[in-house]
Amino acid sequence: MGREVSESCVDGVVMEMVAAYCGRFYAAKPELAAGRIEAIGFQVGHQLSERYTMERPRFTDHLEAIKFICKDFWSELFKKQIDNLKTNHRGTFVLQDNHFRWLTRVSLDPAVENTDATENDSGSLGDSAAQTTSMLLYFPCGLIRGALTNLGIPCAVSADMSNLPACSFVVRIKT
Amino acid sequence: MPSPSSPPRAHGPTTSREQPPSIRRAPPSRCSRVNCRPADSAAPDQLPSGNMIVCVAVVGHQNNPLYLQSFTEADDALKLHHVVHCSLDVIDERVNNPKRSAPTLNETFLGLLYPTENYKVYGYLTNTKVKFLMVTTDLDVKDADARNFFRKFHAAYVDAVSNPFHVPGKKIASRSFGARVSTIVKSFGSGTVG
């Protein structure tokens, strides 16, 4: 698949932002760094949702807004739609992306993974690698939360990644 | 006394009589000449009549004013703000009792909200529950014109709130937004036709 320069730039900016907040500004407090990155995502999502909903009629219910996120919003951002949407019909939605663009260039260092598997003592090393990767997901979480909040749906969004390029976002709507 | 509002009212019908809809759809060259002449020749005293929109407003989702601007020389800003304020209730009513406006259900353009003897108020409600209001003295506005106006107005708003220095929920202080809105307001009824 073709890859545009601007896309690589966005990748670079996201990674550098995460690195800057985690490694320099709030090196000692990862929760604070996560909060800050999420807040940036929130603002961006807030603004983008205003722009991308400009030409469409108002949404009648939550599902319609979530579908908008899955289809149009995601297409605008990542040139693809969310692959799978699940819901319990009680305010929880799971948005699964099997090939999340911002994670396609991320890989865990195999050396770290191997030591992690063999030696239990260095488990913290593997943890920190996973933590670094999960830091990358606070920004998209904020994007989703910002967009939905602007559409009048207050919610909490968390991300989960099991095997790397795939990840899922869990949206819990606050009632 | 209706003295502040009577000049635009007196001019409004005359300009519309001079340009009935059939003439407005005339070839663009003629159309623009007809519309430009009053603004070029007698700008100072005829400005209010060419400027058919007297007030525009952007109101946030908690009914907090984000932008409020009147375009009259007369000292009736308070009156216009009152009209805008009253229209907010009409929007709430429309949105909460959608049965009455079934054909336009969930459309962003809400149409004519609040006709008074001197003004007509048009409304627009975005997906993000931001309300746009426009008060006009022109008593025969075409829906398409109003729609077109709100589309441009909304685009200007989106660009203004995308400014990273804009704080969401606060008043829009951007000067370029103000300039852009007044351009849109000025083009209403003249530039949009044809």
With an 8 Å Cβ cutoff, the interface of chain B facing chain A consists of 61, 105-108, 125-130, 154-155, 157-158, 161-162, 164, 168
Tell me if chain B has a CB within 8 Å of the CB of A54.
yes
Q: Sheet harboring A84-87: ordered strands across?
A: A84-87, A92-97, A167-173, A155-160
pLDDT tens for B159-191 read 999 988 888 888 998 899 999 998 988 888 665
Domain ranges of chain A: 5-173
Mean pLDDT, all residues of chain B: 72
pLDDT at B31: 38
Which percentage of chain A shows pLDDT scores above 90? 36
Q: Is the dihedral of CA A98, A102, A105, A107 positive or negative?
A: negative
pLDDT higher for B106 or A35?
A35
Structure tokens at A94: 């799971």
pLDDT at B103: 55
* Cβ-nearest to A58 among B127, B154, B158: B127
**Angle CA(B64)–CA(A50)–CA(A91) in degrees, nearest 5?**
90
Q: Do B128 and A53 touch (CB under 8 A)?
A: yes
pLDDT at B10: 40
pLDDT tens for B58-78 read 999 888 989 988 888 777 888
Q: Does the domain spanning A5-173 belong to CATH 3.30.565.10?
A: no
C-alpha span between B70 and B180 (Å, rounded): 14
Task: Report residue A112's pLDDT band, with 50, 70 and 90 as the boundaries.
Answer: low
| Residues of chain B with confidence (pLDDT) below 70 | 1-51, 98-105, 189-194
**Which class would CATH give B53-187?**
alpha beta
pLDDT of A31 strictly over 80: yes
Interface test with B, best of A17, A42, A50 (most B CBs within 10 A): A50
pLDDT at A172: 93
Tell me which chain A residues have a C-beta less than 8 angstroms from the C-beta of B130: 50
pLDDT tens for A47-81 read 999 999 988 888 888 898 999 999 999 998 888 89
pLDDT at A105: 77
Domain ranges of chain B: 6-50, 53-187
Among chain B residues, the shortest Cα distance to A68 is held by B127
C-alpha span between A127 and B193 (Å, rounded): 64
Among A166, A146, A164, A165, which residue's Cα sits nearest to residue A65? Answer: A146
Q: Mean pLDDT throughout A11-19?
A: 88
* Cβ-nearest to A50 among B106, B161, B164: B161
